[in-house]
């Protein structure tokens, strides 16, 4: 489904008027024309709805259900928890609009590879393409797959990271300043086995063709959107807790959110509010990532100059709105602050929800 194709650099006009700006067009018979012809051979079967669903489905993953706990521990303020998601939303929508402009200019299969190659040259497109293949996409797919296994384990206890099929060795903890590297087990357990099987199954489905892959994508994306809508609507209707509302909103919403407030990020290191907001973006940006996946399929989108920018704008806007609504539900249902040793869900709060599964706690 994700068609990647090479693209040669645009030929620029060798000479022209210096007084009047003109739109630079590729020369006739250029490599751009060659690869544009190759793109036309792709099946343009994705309409606006499917393209938008691809944006939404790529963005919604495990992050919204778990990263709020880590963000809450870092910022220590209900206002800054929401602020972190608002900043992420602003950055995401601005980036999506920028990509929409690029996609309209170069509606080609390849996405960022095409843009980097045309703007900076073949080397940077080449490096990005291999980084995407070896690290970015593979890492994201692995993270989402493991999260799927983790949440499936809530319903099927035998699917667990502690239920080993083949345990090879344990990597000891390695301390580097305030960070701890390593400290992990290597092998195959039932949780990561589910991640592997899920990846294989979805890959095989996409092999059967664009329309089959798009149909499956639309079904799963609809389920994701309905799940978040259900969490937001039912959470506001039935999960509001007076203790949580008192702790998070009644005069405490702006607690520790002053511009000059100091925040402990561990190891005795204190940073400003702006710095801790930047640090907190790690989780929220991870949750809002992958919206650009639709640009990889530009050659398979109907009327790409219109539908790609629209799908990016609508898709990112919908997801960010859902994410912010869910975080307000978290704050209405659970106190932000809690203790890891507490025996109750309310006592653990958002910051110490079991395995950071805030949505499960709600």
Q: What are the chain's domains?
A: 43-361 (1.20.1740.10)
For residue 252, what pLDDT is reported? 81
Q: Which residues of 89-110 are buried (b: 16+ CB within 10 A; e: fewer)?
A: beebbeebeebbebbbebbbbb
Please tell me the pTM assigned to this model: 0.78
> What is the signed CA dihedral for 326, 329, 331, 335, rounded to 10 degrees?
-120
Confidence of residue 285 (pLDDT cuts 50, 70, 90): very high
The pLDDT > 90 percentage for the chain reads 44
Number of helical H runs and strand E runs in the chain: 15, 4
Residue 76 binned pLDDT confidence (cut-offs 50, 70, 90): confident
**So what's the pLDDT on residue 109?**
84
Segment (H or E) for 322:
helix 304-333
Mean pLDDT, the chain, whole residue set: 84
């Amino acid at each position: 489904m994700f068609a990647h194709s090479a693209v040669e650099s645009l030929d620029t006009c060798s000479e022209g008027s210096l007084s009047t700006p003109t739109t630079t067009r590729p020369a006739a018979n250029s490599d751009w024309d060659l690869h544009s012809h190759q793109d036309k051979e792709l099946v343009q079967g994705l309409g606006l709805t499917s393209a938008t669903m691809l944006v939404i489905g790529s963005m919604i993953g495990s992050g919204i259900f778990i990263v709020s706990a880590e963000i809450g521990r870092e910022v220590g303020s209900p206002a800054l928890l929401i602020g972190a998601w608002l900043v992420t939303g602003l950055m995401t929508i601005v980036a999506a609009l920028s990509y929409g402009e690029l996609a309209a200019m170069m509606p080609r299969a390849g996405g960022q590879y095409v843009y980097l190659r045309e703007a900076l040259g073949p080397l940077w497109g080449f490096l990005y393409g291999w980084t995407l293949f070896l690290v970015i996409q593979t890492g994201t797919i692995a993270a989402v797959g493991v999260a799927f296994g983790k949440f499936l384990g809530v319903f099927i206890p035998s699917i667990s990271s502690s239920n080993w099929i083949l345990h090879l060795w344990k990597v000891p903890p390695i301390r580097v300043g305030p960070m701890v590297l390593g400290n992990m087990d290597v092998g195959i357990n039932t949780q990561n086995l589910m991640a592997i099987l899920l990846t294989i199954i979805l890959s095989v489905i996409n092999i059967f063709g664009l329309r089959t892959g798009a149909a499956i994508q639309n079904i799963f994306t609809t389920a994701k959107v309905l799940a978040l809508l259900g969490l937001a609507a039912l959470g506001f209707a039935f999960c509001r807790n007076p203790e949580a509302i008192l702790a998070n909103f009644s005069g405490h919403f702006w607690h520790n959110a002053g511009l000059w407030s100091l925040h402990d990020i561990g190891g005795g290191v204190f940073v400003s509010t702006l710095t801790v907001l930047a640090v907190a973006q790690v989780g929220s940006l991870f949750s809002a990532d992958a919206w650009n996946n639709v640009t990889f399929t530009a050659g398979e989108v109907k009327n790409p100059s219109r539908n790609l920018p629209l799908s990016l704008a609508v898709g990112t806007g919908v997801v960010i709105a859902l994410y912010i609504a869910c975080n307000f539900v978290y704050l209405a249902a659970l106190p932000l602050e809690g203790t890891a040793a507490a025996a109750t869900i309310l006592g653990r709060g958002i910051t110490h929800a079991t395995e950071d599964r805030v949505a499960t706690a709600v």
